[in-house]
Amino acid sequence: MSREERDMRAGDYVLGLMDEADRARAERDLTIDPEFRDAVWSFSQRLEALDRSAAPEPVAGDLWSRVAAQIADVTQQTRLELVQSDMAAAGAPLTPPDRHGALGLKRPMSGFFRGARGTALAATMLAACALGYVIGQASVTARDPEVVVVLLNEEDVPGALVEAYADDRVRILPLTDFEVPAGKVLEVWTLYDADVGPVSLGTMDAAREAVLSGPDLPAPRPDQLYEITLEDAPRSAAGRPLGPILVKGFAVSPPR
Amino acid sequence: MDDCDTLMRRVAGGDRAALATIFDLEAGRLIAIAKRIVRRRELAEEVVQEAFVTIWHKAALFDHERGAARAWMTTIVRHRALNILRDGSRLDFHDADQLAALGDRAAEAESAYADLPETEDLKRCLGLLEPQRRRSIVMAYVVGFSHGEIAAHLGAPVGTVKAWIRRGVSALKECLS
């Protein structure tokens, strides 16, 4: 999607000029496409000034109790569930993982996912589907990535998607807004050889979609570890991760 | 960071009291926004009631929209109100009463623009647009006019209205950035 097209869709969404189908698609993209999300919220926060001239209306005394009664039995959805349902609605349904793992993936370091195996597997499938979908929309690359990785935070919530290419490029798609305080950067690492240790792929100063050129490394392989840490700008002085790990995950080969 | 953003994070963590606090702070404002679109007070209350149930259900999404809890809630309310409006009987543009009602609503949109403080960037940037483009955008946002209703009110073809809005939004985003 071009920037102009994205801005036009964001405009139509914020102005309320979409038909039902386009609006549903826009709401899915709000969940999975950070650039569209930015375009929508920056525009809607500006137009909000027009709402200020509407004098607040009195609120019926029982309105809150009506809301409270309705939410008494409503379970809140988790971020992952919301993303999954949006992905399913986008035509890339996710098979619920069974306890054996729906994809039959080998996970030599599955201890990392202990207690969250289902979530991790669901997230892995989510990564493959979400990237396919986003690439399909954006057409940013003609070549398929060697591996895709979903990076999870310590609660096993997907925080970023990574595609790693044979020519050392790495594309990062944040799924959440990482807090990056002044003077800090997000640094992306991979561990392709335990003897070499973690290697920096590059840094980002904000949680935005980015393509890093990456150093010359062997082609990325399934089960290779990727992680993002918070480091002092301009990058970790030690050449290895010093700051807290925000998210990490293991690579899988995308379905062809 | 706005109080509302802090409260919304607590709502995402399952805190019903935080949602009640947001309701106390925002419900009157949100009913007023919905009423500009659906016109009737009881419908506007229904919109806000449903919107708060949605906000509770989907609060986990909010963390994506850092710094925008109010804009997020406003968007939910506006779209719910538009749903009710568009589900209703379609406007017959040959009906003189309906055209008069469009005129009242268009006037309300114009006054929302006129009431913007001169110091507001949005006022300056809307003021730079050609009047038809500005009016189209303001009518869509404030009172929820469809392309067809804007076209009927301004006496222009729907395709022309769509082009006005595209160019207007583009220029507006440029000016505001």
The radius of gyration computed from the CA coordinates of chain A, to the nearest angstrom, equals 21
Residue type, A209: E
Pairing mode of beta strands A225-232, A170-174: unpaired
Residues B100 and B81 both lie in one domain: no
> What total of structural domains would you count in chain B?
2
Contacts of A8 in chain B (CB under 8 A): 166, 169-170
State the CATH number of the domain containing residue B18: 1.10.1740.10
pLDDT of residue B115: 95
Residues B106 and B54 both lie in one domain: no
Q: A162 φ, ψ to 5°?
A: -130, 135
For residue A56, give the nearest of B28, B116, B166 by CB distance.
Answer: B28
pLDDT of residue A9: 94
Using the 3D structure, point to which of B87, B104, B124 is the last residue of a domain: B87
Q: What does the pLDDT look like over B125-170, one tens digit per residue?
A: 999 999 999 999 999 999 999 999 999 999 999 999 999 999 999 9
Q: What does the pLDDT look like over B96-115, one tens digit per residue?
A: 567 678 888 899 999 999 99
CB B126 within 8 A of CB B138: yes
Chain B interface test: which of A4, A15, A36 (most B C-beta within 10 Å): A15
Number of other CB atoms surrounding residue A57 within 10 Å: 19
What residue ranges of chain A have pLDDT lower than 70?
Answer: 1, 32, 79-80, 83-84, 86-143, 255-256
List the single residue in B with minimal CA-CA distance to A60: B45
Residues B83 and B112 both lie in one domain: no
Are the beta carbons of B71 and A16 separated by less than 8 Å? no
- The Cα of A80 is separated from the nearest Cα of chain B by a number of Å equal to 9
- The Cα of B97 is separated from the nearest Cα of chain A by a number of Å equal to 24
Using the 3D structure, point to which of B87, B119, B147 is the last residue of a domain: B87
* Domain of B103, in residue numbers: 96-176
pLDDT of residue A107: 34
Q: What does the pLDDT look like over B65-105, one tens digit per residue?
A: 555 788 889 999 999 999 988 876 544 444 556 767 888 88
Token pair for A107: 């996970």
- The Cα of A219 is separated from the nearest Cα of chain B by a number of Å equal to 33
Confidence at B32, pLDDT banded by 50, 70, 90: very high
Q: Could you tell me if B60 lies within 8 Å of chain A, comparing CB atoms?
A: yes
Contacts of B31 in chain A (CB under 8 A): 56-57, 59
Q: Could you tell me if A16 lies within 8 Å of chain B, comparing CB atoms?
A: yes
Residues B75 and B101 both lie in one domain: no
pLDDT of residue B97: 64
Across the A:B interface, residue pairs with CB atoms under 8 Å apart total 156
Q: Could you tell me if B17 lies within 8 Å of chain A, comparing CB atoms?
A: no
- Three-state secondary structure call for residue B167: helix
pLDDT of residue A16: 95
Are the beta carbons of A67 and B70 separated by less than 8 Å? no
Note the ipTM here. 0.92
Q: Which of B13, B20, B29, B24 is nearest to B71 (CA)?
A: B29
Per-residue HEC secondary structure of A197-214 comes to CCEEEEEECCCCCEEECC
pLDDT of residue B60: 81
Residues B69 and B122 both lie in one domain: no
Residues B141 and B168 both lie in one domain: yes
- The Cα of A171 is separated from the nearest Cα of chain B by a number of Å equal to 20
